[in-house]
Amino acid sequence: MGNRLWRKLIIVLLITAFLFPQSLSAHSEKQGAAVNEQKDQSPFRPPVFQEASVHDPSVIRVNDTFYVFGSHLAAAKTDDWMRWETIASGVDDKNKLIPNVKEELKETFDWAETDTLWAPDVIQLEDGRFYLYYNACRGDSPRSALGVAVADDIEGPYRDQGIILKSGMWGEPSEDGTIYDARIHPNVVDPDAFFDKEGNFWMVYGSYSGGIFILKMDPETGKPLPGQGYGKKLTGGNHSRIEGPYIQYSPDTDYYYLFLSFGGLDANGGYNIRVARSKNPDGPYYDAEGNNMIDVKADPDQPLFDDRSIEPYGVKLMGNFRFQGNDGPATGYVSPGHNSTYYDPDTDQYFLIFHTRFPERGEEHEVRVHPMFINEQGWPVVAPYRYSGETVAEVSPADVIGDYQLINHGKDISTDIKESKSIRLESNGTISGEVNGKWKKTGPYTVKLTVDQAVYHGVFLRQWDPVSEREVMTVSALSKEGVAIWGSRIIDREVMD
């Protein structure tokens, strides 16, 4: 009976297929289309973020955890770059990083005539201990002290080892033996301690005043090698608004990249992140146009903090911007800056870690981490959106053709917010819309764009758009003039609904 029943069913199906082939085919096509439509409309797995407010975040990895240390003795940690846990904040005796901090660093506070601490850096040396380079500054002048404290555990407690540099000694001999002059001598804050590819130990530092300097360090004591004074100058001077130096070596290019923040850090300061590069840790550093950064300084004949003299220099990676959003509210940053970076040798990934403020949110600030890539010209390009677990992957022309919002970060230091413009990457390789040009894939995920006659080299990357709450295609690229552009693909309303 069972065999007879199956034979009857098979005969019925064959007859149905013979008499109504188009109906079965149409049903199959609709089912396939529905599956594909569902796949196209399904959201990228939503990332989960947990915020932290650490100003001037300097990163260090300990095992599988990333820590950032910042101003006002704040610190936070994460194991995925997205969910941060605050572990310390506030210069008071309850802070576990430096217990009894007011007494422990009394000499520092007395010299700097302040009651708070500025941007620190932490590094682990060969003895296994952690060295925290703290600094304090009066603020309205470069009267500052920079010292080092040591701990057996990354989360403290740190014990003071003493001041290693001072500045702001008006009318008195400075660290190099000459009378202190803030136009040519540094403000001893914003340290970044690092090892070069040969294993030599360095510290770069400085903010405004006489510029950015670098010192050779002793890896056994954690202090500068003797006889250097303030060290070697790399850039800045005449009170130019350049600060927050951070040096990252890239094994992919064999360059050292000097990251800097230009402008003022508050919401109306026009803070922006720039970079220059060198084959040597102590320079000379050059920007994409070949300018030697040692020549970059404010015009002494102009008013204090002259930005116009310095804004043409350095590769500007990011400043104030706002994407208008995919049928939703705008999203962007205000005064992003004072960054650190991280290179993962196991995955060959680069990350940019910084603090930023936001449009219409005043002085509130949070930590942000963005993926970063080295373009075909050997310069870092920063992805437009924060990291959410994505990795670079091959894209096809069909993946990237469509409508985008375009940000041009320019080279200016300004309180203005760069608003996005509407463009389209056409299938014939042209760019239409509010700007014109052409585009061409140059590799699995790399691209060359010509926008208003300027040539940009960069990468395509799928990222999480926080407004549409969807995965979208993005593009980030740099020109030989040191200008960054970002693109974020606009998702059609029909696809989003």
Nearest to 309 by CA among 259, 261, 258, 237: 237
Specify whether 394 is catalytic.
no
Specify whether 153 is catalytic.
no
Query: What's the CA gap between 345 and 323, in Å, rounded?
Result: 32
What are the strands, taking DSSP E only, across 329-420? 331-344, 349-357, 366-374, 380-382, 402-408, 418-419
Q: Is 177 left (phi over 0), alpha (psi -120 to 50) or beta?
A: left
DSSP string, 200-243: -EEEEE-BSTT-EEEEEB-TTTSSBPTT-TT-EEEE--TT-SEE
CA atoms lying within 13 Å on the CB side of residue 170: 4
Q: Provide CB contacts within 8 A for 182, sequence distance 6+.
A: 141, 142, 167, 168, 209, 210, 239
Query: What's the CA gap between 48 and 170, in Å, rounded?
Result: 51
Query: What's the CA gap between 310 and 70, in Å, rounded?
Result: 26
Cα distances from 321 to residues 198, 328, 412, 415, 417, in angstroms, run 39, 16, 12, 10, 5
- Whether residue 284 is preceded by a cis peptide bond, meaning omega within 30 degrees of 0, is yes
Identified catalytic residue from 56, 104, 160, 366: 56
Neighbour count for residue 90 (Cβ, 10 Å): 12
Three-state secondary-structure class, residue 400 = helix
Identified catalytic residue from 104, 175, 192, 243: 243
How many Å from the N-terminal Cα to the C-terminal Cα in the chain?
A: 51
Active-site positions?
56, 243
